[in-house]
Amino acid sequence: MTTTSYRSPSRTTEIVTQIFAALLGGFLLFIAALLVWTLGYQLVYAGRIFPGISVAGVDLSGMSPIDASVTLNQQLTFPYQGQILMRDGERVWAASPAELGMVFDASASAQSAYKLGRSGGLFGAFGDQMDSRQIGKSAEAVIILDQGVAYAYLQRLAAEINQPAVEASLAIQGTEVIAQPGQLGRFMNVDSALISLSTQLQSFRDGEVNLIVEEVPPHLLDVSSQADTARQILSAPLTLSLSGATELDPGPWVFDVPRVAEMLIVRETASGNGTKLEVAFDSGALYEMLNEIASQVDRPAENARFIFNDDTHQLEIYRPSVIGRVVDVESSVQFINESILTGAHEITMQVISEEPAVLETATGAELGITELVSAETSYFYGSSAERIQNIQTAAAAFHGVMIAPGETFAMGSVLGDISLDNGYAEALIIFGGRTIKGVGGGVCQVSTTLFRTAFFAGLPIAERHSHAYRVYYYEQSGDGSRSQDLVGLDATVYFPLVDFKFTNDTPYWLLMETYLVGNTLEWKFYSTADGRSVDWQTTGTQNVVDAPAPLFVENDELAKNEIKQVDWSADGADVSVTRSVFRDGQVFFEDVFNTHYEPWQAVCEYGPDTNNAEKRAKDQGKCQ
């Protein structure tokens, strides 16, 4: 038989209430006891530091704050007798805490010891009282650090420690390469040292502070490879040459080591986030050198020259075409600088080739040169041998020259430099208002003949300049007499200031041929006729102004009674020539050539002591 025990809810509540009351009573009793102990302990040690409390190892048990302050001042000599070491590798500096700006506050430290066990609430105070009594407890030593003093001391150390980074250097002295390696810089971190020093002083013990010294690398630490490159460049002369050069080509050009050294430079260039040294040739010196070479190498492309066979109507080669070439100075500068870095001493220059427009394989049918379209002849009876030589030299330069469709042709592009070296002689020229002897006199016979050939071919004249005064040679007819119809149909050239230009406005190439026979110059144009014809009218001479009376001038280089005419008279005048160009019976274009001639004075020179120079000149048919 099972018996069940039953307890009523009210009875359970009563038991729980009794247990809670017992616990609460015990806790209150504990708190009361703790409070009595704490207050009682404080009463026993009223005004005194609790037992077992010390500051920086000095026992202050039972002392008043004042006595504790005196005791601390007497026993704690660390600020003055302590020693703080600061180390940088093998270098060591020692200083007392006071030298480093440390001040020990004994009074504040005694108050800190006194408050230990009297703060932190009931439980905190009781815990501190028990700990100090049983195992001892150390109060905080109050120190003051004058950071200005500490910072100044550390700055003085930094001045001894810090070293600026030294950049590597490379120089060319004569033919010698001078290289100096760079050096790491050192920088003491004063702020970090100040933090470490403060921590060490707070310990109130001798100790060592490791100074934090950072290495600062230079931008350039090692230039040994660049020095090796420079020495390699200076180990042999530099030779520049043309690719595929023949015996007829200029070069090679050899520059000895001292010359190479003069051009070699060391320059600083950007590299990533920094810089680097680079050995190279000075661009200015290299440009100057290459431009000098280019003056020997450069040549324009030249079309093949032909003559037209009037019987077969075919072109016959007169002079082969020439491939043009130009030294690419810009690319050569870069290529040479790149090549020397690889150790090269023999370098091929960069040259740009230019193919001529007309090769010697061209045919008349391909070029549209099928017939004679214009021919003119000028006469120069009475010319000196020197003048004829100049006419022949200048005219020969144009023989076989080709003019492209649409091209405006300038005489200066072919004539070039008129000099003794190029086959010209001294003859009479017009200069500074006088007829004087100069190189190239007679070249205007060539320009006048070309002008007339283009004029009667019906081609547009782009630039033409007349002579300052009427010249007999340019008005001569076939029998040597003076033709009024030719007045105003002359053209002068004085390259590069004065040029003669005309335009081949046809769709065909134009071939020029020149022939000098005796005292005549014939100029021929070969192309394909496009139905042009020319009609022209001249006003003849107008506004004629008589030439001034002859001028007689003594010349010490002449003998007595010797007469020499150096200039010839010419009346001044104006003339206007109108040209109408027709094509297929319709007016294609018209143009007008207005010319003004100044009156020109005859000049005769005579020797010293000549009697009646004017009469003698007249008797000799001079200066009339």
List pLDDT tens digits, range 90-103.
899 999 998 888 88
Using DSSP, state whether 227 is helix, strand or coil.
Answer: helix
Neighbours of 597 (CB within 10 A): 24
For residue 42, being part of any structural domain is answered with no
Residue ranges with strand state E in 471-509: 501-503
Residues 464 and 433 in one domain: yes
Q: What is the pLDDT of residue 622?
A: 87
Residues 228 and 335 in one domain: yes
Of 106, 139, 161, the residue that ends a domain is 161
Residues 347 and 393 in one domain: no
State how far the Cα of 488 lies from the Cα of 474, in Å rounded to an integer: 9
Domain span at 94: 47-161
Q: What is the pLDDT of residue 382?
A: 81
- 140 CB-contact burial (10 Å; exposed 0-12 / middle 13-18 / buried 19+): middle
Q: Which of 181, 329, 177, 331 is nearest to 266 (CA)?
A: 177
Residues 118 and 60 in one domain: yes
Residues 412 and 342 in one domain: no
Residues 596 and 476 in one domain: yes
Neighbours of 390 (CB within 10 A): 27
Q: What is the pLDDT of residue 406?
A: 97
Q: What is the pLDDT of residue 276?
A: 81
Residues 350 and 377 in one domain: no
Sign of the C-alpha dihedral computed for residues 616, 617, 621 and 624 taken in this order: negative
For residue 8, being part of any structural domain is answered with no
Do residues 527 and 512 make contact, with C-beta atoms less than 8 angstroms apart? no
Do residues 219 and 274 make contact, with C-beta atoms less than 8 angstroms apart? yes
Q: Which amino acid is at 276?
A: K
Of 161, 181, 198, the residue that ends a domain is 161
In the chain, which residues have pLDDT < 50?
1-5, 439-440
Residues 245 and 388 in one domain: no
For residue 207, being part of any structural domain is answered with no
Residues 612 and 494 in one domain: yes
For residue 383, being part of any structural domain is answered with yes
For residue 563, being part of any structural domain is answered with yes
Angle formed at CA 156 by CA 153 and CA 159, multiple of 5 degrees: 155
Of 161, 177, 208, the residue that ends a domain is 161
Residues 591 and 445 in one domain: yes
Residues 346 and 412 in one domain: no
Residues 333 and 438 in one domain: no
Task: Name the helix (H) or strand (E) containing 75.
Answer: helix 65-75
Number of domains in the chain: 3
